[in-house]
Amino acid sequence: MAVKRFLGVAVVALLGTAAFGSPVAATTPRPVIASLVATPATVTTLDGQSTLTASVANASSCTLSATPPALSGAGPVTCSGGSVSQAMSFPENARAKKTVTYTIMLVADGPGGAAAKKVTVRVAPGAGTALLSGVKAIVGATRNVPGTFCALLSSGGVDCWGYGRDGQLGNGTFASSATPVEVEGVGGAGTLGAVASLTAGNGSICALLTSGGVDCWGTGYEGELGDGNFYPGSPYGSATPVQVEGVSGTGILTGVASIATDDAGYCAQLASGGVDCWGRGVEGQLGDGNFYPGSPYGSATPVQVTGVNGSGILTGVASITGDSYQSFCAVLRSHQVDCWGNDESGEIGGGSTANSATPVQVEGVSGVGKLTGVRSLVTANASVCALLSSKGVDCWGNGSSGDLGNGTLSNSDTPVHVRGVGGRGTLGAVSALSPGGQSVCALLTSGGADCWGSGPDGELGNGRFADSTTPVRVEGVRGGNLSRVATLLGDSSGHCAGLTSGEADCWGFGYEGELGNGTFYNTTRPYGSPKPVQVAGTSGGVLVGVASLASYSAYSVSRCSLLASGGVDCWGYGADGELGNGTFYATNDGGSATPVPAVAP
């Protein structure tokens, strides 16, 4: 049985008074905090609370802080007359015998200056609220700005939290939740189980079952759920999982090995080597030879992807990947690549920019022969990059921000070699690729990282706020080059590295706290850090025990870390409950600039 983690909760009440002492002097009076008392001073019971009361005068604003950092509740509070109640939660006390002490500081500001007062709150071992545990994987979904996270549990079940107004949480309601909820079974029967993996699209989530079937929930107005239904009216989806049907609605889809999404639909790689797709199809991304120009613009049941140029059906597929610009690519067992769908920027790689509703073979570099030796693909911003068996990288498609890494700002409808650092030679010794919004980072076999593309807010991590059309070396937190990288995460704000030490470093855009180092980069441009910063821990220090990283990526970004312990810590944007700690953050504050633990359902 998984061990649960715990946190304590304190409720803060601030009582304002008009004045203290003698009549108003000619000079502007300084703020006064007459008292700040915690009752009780120690949280000792499950769900225990401590109420802090403060008497404040001559203040126009107040701010609460906690050391070590609080789970939630720290930040600005109004105290200019009247009273305020503020919930302050604390990270778990996982220690068996030792009480954890938090120093709470209240700072009162006014025209006459500032005043501060401190009080301590103690959280006893075992006191507080259980945290999410037993997690083996996390995925993030987006619905324009609001985001949703889902956690695959070691039990085979699924918990979700965040935005849910189109049913994304799968718990039978069309409502958001700042705490994880259990995903129900098909039709609301029991809870979902026997899940092997999760794939998240634009407002929908699909679960690959251990049986080889697929269940989906959330947004489905263009057929994304694959159950034969379009959901044309608000709330535009299903709040409980539905079974994906077989091709043309015959039976239930089976024999699925993996699932990919282009945000508007899904493609299933079959164990047989074929591919079935469903959802939006107006750009030809369903690969069945049809464009779907009229409403509802797609297919609500899977269709078979044809072979190259519409001949037969596609076979011999080893893996698939989708791009949010509505195209798919398949790596074949022959290590060649076929792509279909939107080709506006040349992302199909077949030597033209014409959309294709059937797969086309990706050509070789400069259009010579066919691309071969491909191990894996990543896609972002209408571009595709292939990691080769030689450990080099070839890219094609949109190059307007230097995305192709070949020293130009031009699109390419055939693959080009990514150059080496500084434009010298070609990039090599790459073990993995991680796409961001308009940038790509390569994890090197040495444990370092090189990035290229768009970098106005420091997304490339080389100490500069600038784009680069060729790879640059990511710097280290304390100088030198970043090292000991085990995994990379990319999203629209930049990149994070999970280190072999179990720590995490992030760089790039940080307006809403998504760098996780305690800073909101929201005062002056550029809004971020051009070199990696360490992600903080939930109880001070730095985040440790990181097993993997996930994010949802739109105009706002939230990030979550899966810990080796099976817990989850999240940071960044949290107005729709994306951080999973029970708090809907004010939209103007964004969320939390340090990680907070996700609580249990």
pLDDT band at 94 (very low <50, low <70, confident <90, very high): low
pLDDT band at 87 (very low <50, low <70, confident <90, very high): confident
Q: Quick one: pLDDT at residue 538?
A: 83
- Find how far residue 349's CA is from the centre of its chain: 28
Amino acid (1-letter code) at residue 113: G
Instruction: Calculate the dihedral angle through the C-alpha atoms of 396, 402, 408, 414, rounding to the nearest 10 degrees.
Output: 0
Q: Which residues is 67 bridged to in the sheet?
A: 103
Average pLDDT, the chain: 91
Judge contact between 453 and 441, C-beta under 8 A: no
* Residue ranges covered by each domain of the chain: 5-131
Q: Report DSSP letters for 205-231, one per residue.
A: EEEEETTS-EEEEEE-TTSTT-SS---
Q: Quick one: pLDDT at residue 368?
A: 96
Q: Which residues is 449 bridged to in the sheet?
A: 443
- Whether residue 3 is predicted with pLDDT greater than 80 in this model: the reply is no
Q: Report DSSP letters for 520-569, one per residue.
A: ---SSSS-EEEEEEEPBPBTBSB---EEEEEEEESSSEEEEEEETTS-EE
Phi, psi of 94 (to 5 degrees): -85, 0
Q: Among residues 220, 231, 242, 225, which one has the least CA distance to residue 143?
A: 220
Tens of pLDDT, residues 251-271:
999 999 999 999 899 999 999
Residues 6+ apart with CB under 8 A from 216: 204, 205, 206, 207, 224, 225, 226, 227, 238, 241, 242, 244, 266
Q: Quick one: pLDDT at residue 21?
A: 44
* SS3 letters across 270-323: ECCCCEEEEEECCCCCCCCCCCCCCCCCEEEEEEECECHHHCCECCCEEEEEEE
Tens of pLDDT, residues 373-418:
999 999 989 999 999 999 999 999 999 999 999 999 999 999 999 9
| Interatomic CA distance for residues 412 and 525, integer angstroms | 32
Q: Among residues 249, 251, 169, which one has the least CA distance to residue 217?
A: 169
Mark residue 559 as left, alpha or beta (left: phi above 0; alpha: psi -120 to 50; beta: remaining). beta
Judge contact between 54 and 35, C-beta under 8 A: yes
Establish whether the linkage from the previous residue to 69 is cis, with ω within 30° of 0: no
Beta-strand relationship, 42-43 and 113-123: parallel
| Interatomic CA distance for residues 47 and 34, integer angstroms | 29
Q: Quick one: pLDDT at residue 6?
A: 37
Residue labelled with tokens 């499950």: 46
Q: Quick one: pLDDT at residue 12?
A: 36
Q: 5-131, which class in CATH? A: mainly beta
Tens of pLDDT, residues 538-586:
877 899 999 999 998 776 899 999 999 999 999 999 999 999 998 898 7
Q: Among residues 92, 48, 40, 246, which one has the least CA distance to residue 568?
A: 92
pLDDT band at 304 (very low <50, low <70, confident <90, very high): very high
CB neighbour class for 30 (10 Å; exposed up to 12, middle 13-18, buried from 19):
middle
Phi, psi of 317 (to 5 degrees): -85, 130
| Interatomic CA distance for residues 252 and 182, integer angstroms | 24
Judge contact between 200 and 139, C-beta under 8 A: yes
Over residues 501-529, mean pLDDT: 95
Tens of pLDDT, residues 163-194:
999 999 999 999 999 999 999 999 999 999 99
Over residues 44-48, mean pLDDT: 67
Phi, psi of 247 (to 5 degrees): -55, 130
Half-sphere exposure of 503 (CA within 13 A, CB side): 16
- Whether residue 527 is predicted with pLDDT greater than 60 in this model: the reply is yes
| Interatomic CA distance for residues 569 and 200, integer angstroms | 19
| Interatomic CA distance for residues 579 and 576, integer angstroms | 8
